[in-house]
Structure 1
Amino acid sequence: MKTTSLTLPEFAFVEGSEHEEGGDPLYGRNVIIHNRTASVMEVFLKEDVVLEDDVVSLNFSNKNSFGIKERMTIALHYSSTLDKVIDRAMIIEEVLKPAAKWYCDYCDWMDKNISND
């Protein structure tokens, strides 16, 4: 019998499922979960989203492999353990900023894979 580790990474992508009526509801979206706080967020290209003022979000950018600066926004959908009003500053510093870095690292990794093919 093989021992299974129940350790989860700090961040992971959330994927939908093809079996749902109408297909995968998350197809083409970049939804991320922060496992430690059960916070769900989504990454958008900055020019593709307009958020309400009360949405906890962070603007960031990443330079792709062509040297083009991609401007993005990461927005909190919800958190099971944090209050978006009381914990707003902490969410930005300890969840959204690290998630943005994690996403940029993913984009850089994808760019390298594409250029190697």
Structure 2
Amino acid sequence: MYQWVSSDIWLILGVISLILYLTKGINYKESITSKRNRIFCWAIGISIFQIAISVIETFDIFTDCYEYIINTFMAYGFLFVCYILIGGKWSIADKVSLTIFIVGTLIICYIEMFLR
């Protein structure tokens, strides 16, 4: 993550943010497809990736998977920012394009990683 904050602090922040998203963020009375719940579902994914990366860096386990997870996290974060900027108003054609974009981005990241 960032060098000015240690990995164990990122782990604590990731767990706290995940708990907050699950308890205060998602409105369980509404549909999961409501705009608020969709945004928090995306944010939960960010917290899970943050926790996974922090666990790898803090406890030095699954170091072989670190590059895969960090590249997937970067692609996911990029898509989350795109989702926020677009406003979540994607049609079916946009969702197909998004799926192709996700797969293409991940393939490019993994090919680049294997060529190192």
Q: Same fold (TM over 0.5)?
A: no
Name the structure with the higher strand share. Answer: 1
Higher normalized helix content (fraction of residues): 2
TM-score computed with the length of structure 2 as normaliser: 0.30
User: Relative CO higher for 1 or 2, CA cutoff 8 Å, sep ≥ 6?
Assistant: 2
TM-score scaled by length of structure 1: 0.30
